[in-house]
């Protein structure tokens, strides 16, 4: 069990002033089976009307409008979460698991995905779903190298595997493609990890009783150092920021995450 302090900062810089900025944000950690959010405070600048809701996957969501002219849009979320992977992440308010069984445009398998799965199946014939996912995670981690600028938000799992490089989103999409091709319900997760950096992505698989997390970028099962924000079928269901505005400006988004442990680790 760990008590983690988190700070999530998102900044959108516009090349010229915009106004009537209507946005939807998914950047609030959620209380679930393996974590309890004890405190969560957010600030959005420029200010305006903001409301909180949930999407069809149960993710917390902020939506609002910044009417006034602005060249910078800032979001800060701070708080405390208690994480414990020993707690059972039993499905609650979860849509039909069939939505997590089938490929999406970003995770649909091609020849390379199927070949990688075929090589894994030599080892997984009599394994549980959880142990299979562990083998698939290791296979993904060994098949591509971490590299920025090689892929983008529209890169498919098949293409990332062909390129042999990508970021956490690509690692997660390839693992999803393998699991779903083997009929294992699996979902994409966005969250944070202990340390300094950006938001992170990993995968959860359902073994018939509970969800288990696997982080193929780091080749580890999800532990108490991970804080979950949202989940869905792939990256597009968990997109942190969506919006429209009045103006012709180009925009540049940056995210900075800081997670620190408070009070040490207890058994």
Write down the pLDDT at residue 208.
86
Write down the pLDDT at residue 34.
86
Helix (H, G, I), strand (E, B) or coil at 17: strand
- Asked if residue 91 is part of any domain, the answer here is no
- The pairing of strands 70-83 and 2-25 is antiparallel
Tell whether the model's pLDDT for residue 140 goes beyond 50. yes
Name the residue with tokens 């193929």: 216
Residues 132 and 61 in one domain: no
Q: Give residues with Cβ within 8 angstroms of 101, minimum separation 6.
A: 180, 183, 184, 185
Residues 121 and 66 in one domain: no
To the question of pTM greater than 0.75 for the whole model, the response is yes
228: containing domain: 97-234
Mean pLDDT of the chain: 92
Write down the pLDDT at residue 110.
96
Confidence label for 92 from pLDDT (cuts 50, 70 and 90): low
Tens digits of residue pLDDT in 68-80: 999 999 999 999 9
Q: Give residues with Cβ within 8 angstroms of 149, minimum separation 6.
A: none
Contact by Cβ (8 Å): 184, 203 = no
Residues 161 and 219 in one domain: yes
Write down the pLDDT at residue 200.
97
Tens digits of residue pLDDT in 227-250: 999 999 999 999 999 999 999 999
- The pairing of strands 2-25 and 60-66 is antiparallel
Tens digits of residue pLDDT in 4-41: 999 999 999 999 999 999 999 999 998 987 899 999 99
Tens digits of residue pLDDT in 162-185: 999 999 999 999 999 999 999 999
Residues 49 and 156 in one domain: no
Residues 9 and 56 in one domain: yes
In terms of Cα–Cα distance, which of 196, 164, 208 is closest to 5?
196
Contact by Cβ (8 Å): 227, 192 = yes
Write down the pLDDT at residue 209.
86
Residues 107 and 155 in one domain: yes
Q: How far is CA 145 from CA 18, 91, 163, 219, in A?
A: 38, 33, 9, 12
Residues 199 and 141 in one domain: yes
Residues 123 and 226 in one domain: yes
What gap in Å lies between CA 121 and CA 136, rounded to an integer? Answer: 9
Residues 207 and 114 in one domain: yes
Within 13 Å and on the Cβ side, how many CA atoms surround 98? 1
| Residue 77: both structure tokens together | 């979320």
Burial (CB < 10 A; 0-12, 13-18, 19+), residue 250, is exposed
Q: Reply yes or no: is the peptide bond before residue 46 cis, omega within 30 of 0.
A: yes
What gap in Å lies between CA 17 and CA 248, rounded to an integer? Answer: 9
What gap in Å lies between CA 219 and CA 225, rounded to an integer? Answer: 14
**% of residues, the chain, pLDDT over 70:** 94
């Amino acid at each position: 069990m760990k008590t983690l302090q988190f700070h999530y900062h998102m900044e959108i810089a516009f090349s010229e002033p915009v106004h009537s900025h209507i946005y939807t944000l998914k950047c609030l950690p959620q209380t679930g089976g393996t974590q309890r959010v004890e405190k969560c405070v957010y600030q959005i600048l420029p200010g305006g009307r903001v409301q909180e809701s949930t999407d069809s996957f149960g993710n917390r969501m902020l939506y609002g409008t910044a009417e006034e002219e602005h060249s910078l849009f800032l979001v800060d979320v701070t708080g405390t979460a208690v994480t414990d992977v020993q707690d059972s992440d039993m499905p609650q308010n979860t849509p039909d698991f069939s939505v997590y069984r089938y490929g999406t445009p970003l995770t649909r398998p091609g020849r390379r995905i199927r070949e990688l799965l075929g090589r894994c199946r030599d080892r997984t014939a009599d394994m549980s779903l959880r142990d299979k996912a562990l083998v698939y995670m290791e296979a993904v981690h060994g098949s591509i190298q971490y590299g920025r600028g090689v892929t983008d938000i529209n890169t498919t799992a098949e293409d990332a595997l062909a390129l042999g490089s990508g970021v956490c989103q690509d690692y997660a999409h390839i693992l999803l493609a393998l699991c779903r091709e083997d009929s294992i319900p699996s979902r994409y997760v966005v969250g944070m990890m202990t340390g300094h950096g950006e938001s992170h992505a990993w995968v959860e698989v359902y073994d018939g009783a509970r969800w288990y997390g696997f982080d193929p970028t780091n080749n580890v099962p999800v532990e108490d150092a991970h804080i979950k924000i949202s989940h869905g079928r792939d990256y597009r269901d968990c997109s942190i920021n969506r919006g429209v505005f009045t103006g012709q400006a180009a925009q540049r988004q940056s995210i900075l995450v800081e997670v620190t442990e408070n009070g040490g680790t207890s058994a």
